[in-house]
Amino acid sequence: MIKNRKALAKLLATSAASALILTGCATASDDTASTETAGTSGGDSATAEEVTISLARFFGDCDDTTEGVTDVKLATSECEVIQILTNAFNAEDNGVTVEKLGGQAWGDYYTQLGTTFSGGTPPDVAVMHQHRLQDYVTRGLLTPVGDLLAAEGVDWADYTAPALGAATYEGDYYGVPFDIHASLWHVNADLYAEAGLTDADGMPIMPTTAGELISQCKAIQSATGKQYFAHDWFEFGVGARLFLGLVWQQGGELSDGVTASTDTPEGAEALRLLNQIADECSNPEQGYTDSQAAFLAGDVAALHNGTWVVDQYNREAPFTYFAMDVPSVYGENGAWGDSHMWVMPTQADVDPAKQAGALKFMAYLYEHVGDWAVGTGHIAPRTSIIASADYNDAPQRTNYAGTASKARMVPAATGWAGAWDALAEELNATWVAGKSQSAALKDAEARMNEALAK
């Protein structure tokens, strides 16, 4: 395994950044905003006047490429899809204008969102991951929107069960699910073909056991001289995502939402395989950018990344590219998954016109779930969209259709963000800095439970 001062320094820097983000979220937890909300959206009378609402989101800043653009088919990234949808909504004669707050690095997003709550000026609409939802709901920071949005035409019955589960807390809906995003295997089929690992139709043959995965690694590297596997080994917790999926594939569980269990036989086997991959099939000095660059240069056979890069890779890859389900190598299905959703932060003093405007915009985003799914690569959370021709005709979608059922949501629990950071740091330390795997699992479990208990 490659272990050097540079990699260790990167690991320590990433850990420090995670600690800063966690501190910022902890500051937000002191907020005790009232949970009183208006009982109705106010209907047309509440939005008869012109109203401006604020939108907090990540996905990047792409104002220079989207100014004045309202045709979402011109979008080429997550940022462009959501900004063009916002532009199109603002162009309608509906009395509501959406102004964006932030919109850049997702790594800082929750710190900045926490600051708005602490300052008493939360946005009218905000994007949120499902694993964060419970933390905000239990602090009284989000407004239940089930009945309010049903009145705006949202058909909750059209959502898939995982999507509805992501938006639900104690029987109430607190968000508009926008997608299911999950881990995928991004494959250079030309390298697989050189090693004789494609079927009669030219499709890459995925491993079905951990042993087959290592055998494929050796076959591809021997036949091509190229690296078999890549992903971000130390920056954004991608290794922890694969670890979680491998635990699930063995029938294990990482957390019940109250306590964490990493020091288990399933955890030990998942971490053993990850370190074997790092030693024999990959380069643990590669972070997110380096791993993508190596893959798109044709130097890597399989890249572990998410749904959000499918369209980019389909456009840019100079080889035969396939987006595939994460291989099930321990008998059961399991791949890391999460959901983006749109939530309504609770306001200390509800402005009926603004609330009505926020609901109108959230209903608009519900209507355009299909545009988001087709334009980004994410899995649609609505059954009618999944069955639509536009969705199924989008590039690569049929190749990873199985991910809709294989992917599982990360646990949603108060304190989960800090617990996840602790897990990622401990796992990273094994392949970057040579920490004992058994010690890492024990330390991860202790640190995760400390975070979950706060």
Determine phi and psi for 94, rounding to 5 degrees: -120, 5
Question: For residue 104, what pLDDT is reported?
Answer: 61
Question: For residue 160, what pLDDT is reported?
Answer: 93
What's the mean per-residue pLDDT of the chain? Answer: 89
Domain 182-337+411-452 sits in CATH at: 3.40.190.10
Instruction: Tokens 């946005």: give the residue.
Output: 123
* In the chain, domain spans: 31-180+341-367, 182-337+411-452
Question: For residue 168, what pLDDT is reported?
Answer: 96
Question: For residue 213, what pLDDT is reported?
Answer: 98
Q: Is the pLDDT of residue 112 over 80?
A: yes
Question: Comparing 31-180+341-367 with 182-337+411-452, is the CATH topology the same?
Answer: yes
Q: Is the pLDDT of residue 22 over 50?
A: no
User: Over the Cα atoms of the chain, what is R_g?
Assistant: 22
Predicted confidence (pLDDT) per residue in 309-364, tens digit = 999 999 999 999 999 999 999 999 999 999 999 999 999 999 999 999 999 999 99
What average pLDDT score do residues 108-121 get? Answer: 93
Predicted confidence (pLDDT) per residue in 208-229, tens digit = 999 999 999 999 999 999 999 9
Give me the helix-helix angle, 369-376 and 352-367, nearest 10°. 50
Instruction: Tokens 């295997």: give the residue.
Output: 185
Instruction: Say how far apart CA 77 and CA 376 lie, in whole Å.
Output: 6
Q: Is the pLDDT of residue 390 over 60?
A: yes
Predicted confidence (pLDDT) per residue in 398-436, tens digit = 999 999 888 999 888 888 989 999 999 999 999 999 999
Q: Is the pLDDT of residue 34 over 50?
A: no
365-369 — which CB contacts under 8 Å span 24+ positions?
365/85, 365/176, 365/178, 366/149, 366/153, 366/154, 366/176, 367/153, 368/72, 368/85, 369/177, 369/178, 369/179
Question: For residue 257, what pLDDT is reported?
Answer: 81
Q: Is the pLDDT of residue 68 over 50?
A: yes
Contact 237, 432 (CB under 8 A): no
Write down the number of H helices and E strands in the chain. Answer: 21, 13
Helix segments in 141-208, DSSP class H: 146-150, 161-167, 189-194
Predicted confidence (pLDDT) per residue in 368-379, tens digit = 999 999 999 999
Domain 31-180+341-367 sits in CATH at: 3.40.190.10
Q: Which of 166-180, 264-278, 324-338, 400-414 has the lowest mean pLDDT?
A: 400-414
Question: For residue 406, what pLDDT is reported?
Answer: 87
Question: For residue 383, what pLDDT is reported?
Answer: 94
Helix segments in 29-97, DSSP class H: 43-46, 63-66, 78-91
Question: For residue 108, what pLDDT is reported?
Answer: 86
Element holding 129 (H helix, E strand): strand 125-129
Percent of the chain with pLDDT over 70: 89
Length of the chain: 454
More confident residue, 450 or 46: 450
Question: For residue 20, what pLDDT is reported?
Answer: 30
Predicted confidence (pLDDT) per residue in 279-316, tens digit = 999 999 999 999 999 999 999 999 999 999 999 999 99
3-state helix, strand, coil in the chain (%, to 5): 50, 15, 35
Percent of the chain with pLDDT over 90: 83
Q: Is the pLDDT of residue 182 over 70?
A: yes
Q: Give the amino acid at 388.
A: S
What average pLDDT score do residues 187-205 get? Answer: 98
Q: Is the pLDDT of residue 47 over 50?
A: no
Indicate the pTM of the whole model.
Answer: 0.85
What average pLDDT score do residues 124-129 get? Answer: 97
Instruction: Say how far apart CA 442 and CA 446 lie, in whole Å.
Output: 6
What average pLDDT score do residues 160-166 get? Answer: 92
